[in-house]
Chain A
Amino acid sequence: MSTETAPATTESVETEHDHHPSHLQHHFVSSEQQFDSAKLGMWLFLITEILLFSALFVAYAVYRNWNPVAFAEASSTLDWVLGSVNTIVLLTSSLTVALSIHFIQKNDRKKTVISLLATLALAGGFLVIKYFEYMAKFEHGIYPGEAFAPTGSGYEYLAAIPYVPQFFSIYFVMTGIHGVHVVIGMGLISWMAWRAHRGDFSDEWYTPVELTGLYWHIVDIIWIFLFPLLYLV
């Protein structure tokens, strides 16, 4: 991927006062060192994100293993069409965020901003679809935890099956925490779009865009695991 390219070195900024580009913090020797550090730090952060979700995946696996029938029944009430649409929406947004990095490397500020805004729109679309999915469940009394009281045709029979509430607890917690990550990502992407528009980034320095992209990819990847586990399996 083109994201592996390090930004240009300090050689090209002879015009600067002390041969130091403005983005270079005092404790780094070179732009490469700063860029590599930032990227390694982001990868480590992404590892912590995976471990954060891993406990939830374990809880899912344990309860599913003990109660396969309840989980199959509860899972069948989720709308796999909307889930698939959302998967496509998120995958597309991963493409657009990757494009924004591609365009900033080409120093094309306008297209960078457009790609970032497209990512933002797709992320918003994801949340809107998720909102309708949640509402459809709440209408039938499907809440996480104690409030769980299924009503209406197609749902009432769930009340008789033990451990169905556990499925929905796990469903709401996992997709909820994922949703929080989407919202944080939207904040970051808006900020990046604003800064790109202001002209903060160039092919010499675009580290924040790159890191935001990495973050957005992990949000996408986590959904790619959530979708089949919750909707399809």
Chain B
Amino acid sequence: MEAAAHAASQTDAEPRTYLNHETSLWEWLTTKDHKKIGIMYLISLAVVFLVAGLLAMAVRLELMSPDFSIMSASQYNQTFTMHGIMMVFLFIVPSIPAILGNFVLPLQIGAKDVAFPRLNLASWYVYMAGGVLTVTALLVGELSTGWTFYTPYSSQQGTAVIFMTGAIFVSGFASIFTGLNFIVTIHKMRAPGMTWNRLPLFVWGLYATSIVQVLATPVVGITMLLLILEQTLQIGIFDPALGGDPILFQHFFWFYSHPAVYIMILPAFGILSELIATFSRQRIFGYRAIALSSVAIAMLGFLVWGHHMFVSGQSAISSIVFSLITYLIGIPSGIKIFNWIATMYKGSVWLQTPMLYALSFLFLFTIGGLTGIMVGVLGVDVHLHDTYFVVGHFHYVMMGGSVIALLGGMHYWWPKITGRMYNETLGKIAAGLVFVGFNVTFFTQLVLGSQGMPRRYYEYVDRFAELHMISTIGSFILASGLFLVLGYALHSLFYGKKAPQNPWAAATLEWTNVAAIPDPHNFTSTPLVTRGPYDFHKADEVFGGSGDGQARGDGAGSDASRLTPPEAAPSAPKEDASA
């Protein structure tokens, strides 16, 4: 069988690619190729996103008007709980690193694979085991704790909590494996000439993310284990009825879960830098500031967990300190936004779908960040705590930030992953629907929250009816945009135009030195890196032009054919082992 398949691919006129190489199901399930593992993650995560998204639609439908109901109060609690848990722990945390990080990271640094390919495959299986435990939790009983599992409520709930916390414990290992793998890969697997200051900013984003994954995830692991022991043996650490301290649980939980929001947003920052530089045809403004601000956010992110507990009974001094450090996070975040905008200034901005998502991100993340500062203010938080304002803020950062960047990144790297182009017109329409739908859904929630609508409530008073209705209508628009994306993505797999090697004329290695569909071993010869990742200003060296500026793509508008893709990096001298 195998031999026959090999022979067939040999005689084929088509070049060998990772997609027509070792194609049986068994070969996929045992693959150590980072590109295939990325795709396996993509399929699994897409299913989780679909299910968790449908749960969100059910929540919005239930809240459409005060007298309309599609489920009981207990079902409602379970629905929003599962929406939160699946979106946070099983979708957004792994999403960008596991899909795009896996696929793109080795290509961008000129490596044949990640440092530990077997560990990479193991991480997917561990993640799937977490998925199986999640399904088990759904089957064995009610889970209505919310995604935060606050004690004592969670420690007195049934077996579903045990399975769900078990699932988070297990899938945490998948996250640790990915982070550990990426740190070592970035340190040890870079191609010759790929210095730290020539790393694409997506790699810097992943590096900062990986640090947080490695340092924070073990703490949530042990917290979940203690919660399981609290339930099974009543060890009395968290449950006040047994002499335990529920605030201690909140400290442990947020020590992971606040850095976890940086696990979710830092790789998104990385994608943004790629998109903005490439589609502005401009060298990124403040490369080092962007790279190091990611690391700064990763570090500061460990020191702000207490801002979730301003009204939980922690001391006033702690609250003041946590509030102050929370403001500090605004500085590196602001540096990034400033640099991205400065990059676009006087660039030739090319409004393709990925760039539309990048611009959406700038708008939405800025709202998310500023509302974050508002809830970080001690007095204001007392009013806003546990209201829809917090829900709105969180979705602006996570959905408007992380998921929008993921969508932009997926469109950007789609030609490299699948070898096909998606439909640009439909892409732009979908980006518009997502942007409008998102704002209609969640801006109303910011208003609702500031007027006092508490989060997680099944019923509400009549004066909130209008805004809830608008929010639900917005969620339909948002969903229609996302389903449109799913539709044309599937369509392009089979009928899409064949993608060229470098459709965006980008300057990083995965476009300049890797075939349209990558080879199983990525590079035909190891590249020798001689310039930075966004050196669009070096027209002569990069584009081989005559230096008259024509090749820079100034005023290229929507005419892709006028863009000259940058030259490929030269091959590194052969590493001769016996020399």
Contact = CB atoms under 8 A, between A and B. Distances in A.
Interface in A35-91: 36-37, 40-41, 44-45, 47-49, 51-56, 58-59, 62-63
Contact of B184 (A37, A55, A56, A162): A37
Contacts of A52: 218-219, 221-222
A55 B219 contact: yes
B274 interface: no
A44 B237 contact: no
B248 A59 contact: yes
Interface string B535-568: 0000000000000000000000000000000000
A11 B578 contact: yes
Interface in B515-533: 521, 526
Interface stretch (B107-115, B364-372, B500-508): B107-115
Contacts of B75: none
Contact of A19 (B187, B218, B521, B578): B578
A40 B184 contact: yes
A40 B183 CA distance: 9
B273 interface: no
A44 B235 contact: no
A218 B138 CA distance: 38
Interface in A77-133: none
B578 A145 contact: no
A166 to B, nearest CB: 6
A62 B245 contact: yes
Q: Which of B112, B115, B117, B223 has the most CB of A within 10 A?
A: B115
A29 interface: yes
A10 B578 contact: yes
A173 B189 contact: no
B237 A162 contact: no
Interface in B170-217: 176, 180-181, 183-184, 187-189, 214-217
B8 interface: no
Contacts of B236: 145, 165-166, 169
A25 B112 CA distance: 11
Interface string B213-251: 011111101110110010001111100001111001001
A162 B219 contact: no
Contact of B577 (A30, A62, A144, A162): A30
Interface in A1-36: 9-11, 14, 19-20, 25-27, 29-30, 33, 36
Contacts of A20: 577
A145 B252 contact: no
Contacts of A54: 218-219
A55 B183 CA distance: 24
Given A27-B111, A165-B236, A41 B215 contact: no
Interface in B229-283: 229, 233-237, 242-245, 248, 251-252, 255
B421 to A, nearest CB: 30
What class of interface size applies to chain A in its complex with B? 35 or more
A56 B188 CA distance: 33
Contact of A55 (B187, B244, B252): B252
A16 to B, nearest CB: 9
A162 B243 CA distance: 8
B575 interface: yes
Contacts of B18: none
Contacts of B111: 27
A19 B577 contact: yes
Nearest to B572: A29
B125 interface: no
B116 interface: yes
Contacts of B234: 145-146
A23 to B, nearest CB: 14
Contact of B214 (A47, A165, A169): A47
Contacts of B222: 52-53, 55-56
B237 A41 contact: no
Given A14-B578, A37-B184, A173-B235, A51 B219 contact: yes
A222 B116 CA distance: 27
A49 B217 CA distance: 11
A145 B575 contact: no
Contacts of A40: 183-184, 187-188
A45 to B, nearest CB: 6
Secondary structure at the B interface, as helix, strand, loop or mixed, is: helix
A163 B236 CA distance: 9
A29 B525 CA distance: 12
A221 interface: no
Contacts of A25: 117
Contacts of B117: 25, 27
B218 A51 contact: yes
A147 B184 contact: no
A149 interface: no
Contacts of B526: 29
A41 B116 contact: yes
A62 B251 CA distance: 12
A145 B233 contact: yes
A183 interface: no
Contact of A163 (B187, B218, B219, B243): B243
A170 interface: yes
B83 to A, nearest CB: 27
A63 B235 CA distance: 13
Contact of A37 (B189, B252, B575): B189
B218 A33 contact: no
B577 A44 contact: no
A44 B245 contact: no
Contact of B181 (A41, A146, A162): A41
A49 B521 CA distance: 33
Contact of B223 (A19, A29, A55): A55
Given A146-B233, A169-B236, A41 B115 contact: yes
A205 to B, nearest CB: 15
A190 B317 CA distance: 52
A88 to B, nearest CB: 28
Contacts of B577: 9-11, 19-20, 30
B224 to A, nearest CB: 10
A20 to B, nearest CB: 7
Interface string A173-208: 100010000000000000000000000000000000
A31 B307 CA distance: 47
Interface in B328-381: none
A147 B215 CA distance: 34
Contacts of B245: 62
A165 B115 contact: no
A188 B427 CA distance: 52
A59 to B, nearest CB: 6
Interface of B: 111-113, 115-117, 119, 176, 180-181, 183-184, 187-189, 214-219, 221-223, 225-226, 229, 233-237, 242-245, 248, 251-252, 255, 521, 526, 575, 577-578
14 contacts: A9-B577, A10-B577, A19-B578, A29-B575, A30-B577, A41-B181, A47-B215, A51-B219, A59-B226, A146-B242, A166-B235, A166-B236, A169-B229, A169-B235
The 6 closest A-B pairs by CB, nearest first: A145-B233, A146-B234, A169-B235, A27-B112, A27-B113, A51-B218
